[in-house]
Amino acid sequence: MIKKIILAAILALPAIASAQTVKIGLVDTQALMTSMPEMKAASEKMEATQKSYQEEYQKLGEEMNRKLEEFRAMKEDEPAAIKERKTRELEDFNQKIQQFQQQAEQDLNKLQQDLLMPIQQKIRDAIQSVGKEGNYTLIQEIQQQLYHAAPAVDITADVKAKLGIK
């Protein structure tokens, strides 16, 4: 009886070993992102929006400088109520500039996310497709690879082909 169990285990060993074959793919998503034609349009949109915000910020800065010069040009014998009003005006305007900066940063971050999400999804879909077609067990970012014992294949070119990128 023990001989039969050992014989069955020995016969099943090749089947078990082949079932544990691991196929690892590596992909450079950064290279894929920069190769995507959609990235150029996204970058141009981001740059145009950043430029608009920078121009507006510059206008606000110039207006702040003008208000500051007006404040500094006030006479020493100017009534206290006028000085206080001008001081509050400067503080309020400075707060307005800070709020503008924060809002611009939030808007730019959201725009970047909105522009990049569809591109990233397209890349993920292509990676999954190549993974399924190539029967890969694991696909990992090539930049985050620390060590691997099993042979790994760089599938970046396959994913580029799937995306129609040369």
pLDDT at residue 86 above 70?
yes
Query: How far from 64 is each of 60, 92, 149, CA to CA, in Å?
Result: 6, 10, 62
Handedness of CA 74, 76, 77, 80 (dihedral sign): positive
Q: Which CATH class is domain 20-163?
A: alpha beta
Full strand arrangement of the beta sheet holding 24-27: 138-141, 24-27, 152-154
Q: Is the pLDDT of residue 20 over 70?
A: no
Confidence of residue 16 (pLDDT cuts 50, 70, 90): low
Q: How many CB atoms lie within 10 A of CB 54?
A: 11
pLDDT in the model for residue 7: 46
Instruction: Please check whether residue 49 is in contact with residue 108, taking contact to mean a CB–CB distance below 8 angstroms.
Output: yes
**What's the pLDDT band for 19 if we cut at 50, 70, 90?**
low
Ranges 3-7, 24-28, 112-116: which has the least confidence: 3-7
3-state secondary structure of 91: helix
Q: What is the pLDDT of residues 112-155, one digit of tens each?
A: 999 999 999 999 999 999 999 999 988 888 888 766 666 788 88
pTM of the shown model: 0.71
Residues above pLDDT 90, as percent of the chain: 57
Q: Where are the domains of the chain?
A: 20-163
Higher pLDDT, 47 or 162: 47
Extended strands (E) in the chain:
24-27, 138-141, 152-154
